[in-house]
Amino acid sequence: MEECRKFYINGEWVDPVTPNDCDVINPATEEAVGVISLGTAADVDKAVAAAKAAFPSYSQTSREERMALLGKIMEVYQSRYDDIAKAITMEMGAPAWLSNAAQAAMGLAHFGTTLEILKNYEFEEDRGATHLVKEPVGVCGFITPWNWPINQIVCKVAPALAAGCTMVLKPSEVAPLNAYLFAQVLDEAGVPKGVFNLVNGDGPGVGAALSAHPDVDMMSFTGSTRAGVLVAKAAADTVKRVAQELGGKSANIILDDADFQTAIAGGVSGVMMNSGQSCNAPTRMLVPADRQDEAIAIAKEAAAGVKAGDPNAEGVTIGPVVSEVQFNKIQDLIQKGIDEGATLVAGGTGRPDGLNKGYYVRPTVFANVTNDMTVAREEIFGPVLSILPYKNEEEAIAIANDTVYGLSGYVSSGNLDRAKKVAGQLRTGNVHLNGAGADVNAPFGGYKQSGNGREWGVDGFEEFLEIKAMMGYTAA
């Protein structure tokens, strides 16, 4: 059992004001592997006060000082890399290979990208007689999810540190152990007291207090659209900046000239990875109606190759979903797909064969899905793919855009110019052409109810800056 009851406030590990134990459950075994304490508004007050007190001095540190700090953090992070990867596998179920190759790796990637941005970023410029200065936004509150936990922590913390902000982090109470290790990394790296603070807790107890706090200048939230709305409402009274990366129901348009084997098998893999627990997963696969049978055959074969099992075992593709709550939600949605008349191509309800314990979900594929079905409308956040037929390119684009979400889109075509043309008509913040992967230098974020603001790269860095104009500063 990992005992992580303390909070990290003002450079010290402190007891919660009111202890309130919460078990951390390993979703592969359904057993407790750690314990944290759930904080309260009183703990938030202490953490915000520390961040506020640290801001005047930290915001005035030089570019070189912040660069040195980021470099030291990366050095210490690397020394704890294996511990972070193992914690992620244990608390949220990602296979060990994924935790090592991607989950933990994204933390280093974001620090490295931010360091390169900081080296050459222009914080000041002149426009005629006016001098413009970009300054740190202030005290930031961060609420992060459990699905890509260290990725979502670092893509907020790294640019905030680089910009000169101070902060309070509330990681997910479902997968908080990696955040605890991360706080240890920052402490060892010598982050000044009060600059980074960690308070564990749930949304009502800590998230709401942080969002509404009058001394917090900015909230950055990643999670469900429902919870994002609550954060925005709580933040509204103090008119603080709010950046949100929320839900998705991304369309994957397979055009008729695409390499079907590559595009469809890749699309299935994209949905199943991380047990379907990615906000930008290509969960709606749009295929030409007259070739749906061909697409079904390829998707069925690809799904059969997805092996669910012990995340520490060799040859496992996906582990369990994160919790019993998520497992039950996914089971209900799979059943709804069946009840509403979608064709079950692979998977279905219940655990995969041979697995009688753990929150494992069968890799599931539906076909003959229409865009008004629940499985095409709601974010399932599990290894569930819906295949939707379309008559022509225009209808494919219309179906893709017929959603309240707009986080990512995917287009496959044998003609790159054609793929670009379709991509230009999608109402999404990201579009992946012909299987292109993520780019940590590119802005990540969505349209519509997928959020506002951007993370990653220069655009993510600039979320943490305010602009000051000083007129009459230079001779015209």
Q: Is 455 a catalytic residue?
A: no
3-state secondary structure at position 121:
coil
Single-letter code of the amino acid located at 185: V
The one catalytic residue in 173, 245, 379, 463 is 245
Sign of the torsion angle spanned by Cα atoms 273, 276, 278, 281 = positive
Which runs of consecutive H residues, i.e. helices, occur in 411-474? Answer: 416-423, 457-462
- Using an 8 Å Cβ cutoff, are 411 and 431 in contact? yes
Single-letter code of the amino acid located at 297: A
The one catalytic residue in 279, 379, 455, 463 is 279
Element (H, E) at 432: strand 430-433
Q: Is 75 a catalytic residue?
A: no
Q: From start to end of 251-361, where are the E strands?
A: 251-254, 284-288, 343-346
Tokens of 357: 């314990």
Candidates 341, 336, 340, 358; CA nearest to 349 is 336
Sign of the torsion angle spanned by Cα atoms 108, 134, 143, 447 = negative
Residue 435 CB neighbour total at 10 angstroms: 16
Tokens of 228: 């994002």
- Using an 8 Å Cβ cutoff, are 177 and 3 in contact? no
Residue 87 CB neighbour total at 10 angstroms: 28
CB-count exposure of residue 128 (10 Å: 0-12, 13-18, 19+)? exposed
Question: If you count them, how many residues does the chain have?
Answer: 476
Which runs of consecutive H residues, i.e. helices, occur in 281-401? Answer: 292-304, 324-339, 374-377, 393-401
Which residues are annotated as catalytic?
245, 279
